[in-house]
Amino acid sequence: MTEHVSIAENFNQYFEIVYADTAELRQESFRIRHMVYCEELGWEPLREDGMETDPFDSAAFSLLLRHRNSGRYAGTVRVIIPPPENAALQLPFEQYCLQSLYPGFDQLNKYRRGAFGEISRLAVPEYFRRRPGEAQSPYPINENATASIETEEERRNFPNIALGLYLGIIALVKICNHAATFVVVEPRLNKRLDRLGLRFKQIGAEMDYHGIRALFLLRQEEYSSDLNAEMLELFNLLERELRRQVVLLPYYNKMGAAL
């Protein structure tokens, strides 16, 4: 009889969550974003330096997912948090989505500035998210660098990349003790997340921005409360790994100095 291997064990065999706390790691995140949002999807203009950035990155904290066997980074995601010295900084959804809020939704004012953030810029390079038989990657792949990840067993685990990034960034939000987190995603993607036990609540009307999207809210008490046993095991694994890496100080900048 084949021994059952949990999603968390399977995930941990192939991938490692990495907190991007150095300039080099943040640049890896920017390069992945450029690969996906600029080169593959064409949603943002191409940059000469090959890194996709925006003004919100000055207040963002990013995660990377490293493929253990090859050492390549398989995805990234960030959470934007208004810094203590500029708590009035508006998050992207506050700049672009407030007009879409459902009538009567007035809960934004109850959350203290700095006690919530916005998840965004989740990106997985096409090579890591495609299945055998799909179109070739729009960017060159170094055969020597990728030969070690062509096994069918590893391919079957590639769909877990986005899942690991979502659970990882929510674990980071939990570590920050945020009262809530916001995200703008496709409603159909939210349905998939809901089936996994992530109960994002839609709080705004659908908008057309690179497809149909809407604003969603996840409250602190729901970060992991409805995850099934296997998803909770993976969430706990990611949280443990991040707690070993993340240093939280009351006034902390990304160069590692107290303000």
Q: Which residues pair with 62 in a beta bridge?
A: 78
Contacts of 236 (CB under 8 A, 6+ apart): 8, 224
CA distance 201 to 143: 43
More confident: 250 or 212: 212
Average pLDDT (207-235) is 92
Contacts of 249 (CB under 8 A, 6+ apart): 258
Which pLDDT score, from 0 to 100, does residue 130 have?
59
How many beta carbons lie within 10 A of that of residue 200, not counting itself?
24
Tokens coding 254: 């990304």
**Average predicted confidence (pLDDT) for the chain:** 83
Which pLDDT score, from 0 to 100, does residue 253 have?
47
Indicate if the pLDDT at residue 3 is higher than 80. Answer: no
Residue carrying the six token digits 């729009």:
138
- 208-215, Cβ contacts within 8 angstroms, sequence gap of 24 or more: 209/184, 210/41, 210/43, 211/186, 212/186, 212/187, 213/184, 213/185, 213/186, 213/187, 214/100, 214/184, 214/185, 214/186, 214/187, 214/190, 215/93, 215/97, 215/100, 215/101, 215/182, 215/183, 215/184
Which pLDDT score, from 0 to 100, does residue 223 have?
96
Identify which of 58, 102, 106, 103 has the alpha carbon closest to the alpha carbon of residue 82: 58
For the ranges 48-62, 101-115, 144-158, 201-215, the lowest mean pLDDT is seen at 144-158
Contacts of 92 (CB under 8 A, 6+ apart): 56, 80, 118, 120, 184
- Percentage of residues in the chain with pLDDT exceeding 90? 54
More confident: 166 or 107: 166
For the chain, which residues make up each domain, given as ranges?
Answer: 7-245
89 pLDDT tier (thresholds 50, 70, 90): confident
Indicate if the pLDDT at residue 246 is higher than 60. Answer: yes
7 pLDDT tier (thresholds 50, 70, 90): confident
Domain 7-245 has CATH 1.20.1250.20: no
More confident: 142 or 118: 118
Which pLDDT score, from 0 to 100, does residue 200 have?
93
Indicate if the pLDDT at residue 33 is higher than 80. Answer: yes
For the ranges 62-66, 140-144, 156-160, 188-192, the lowest mean pLDDT is seen at 140-144
More confident: 255 or 75: 75
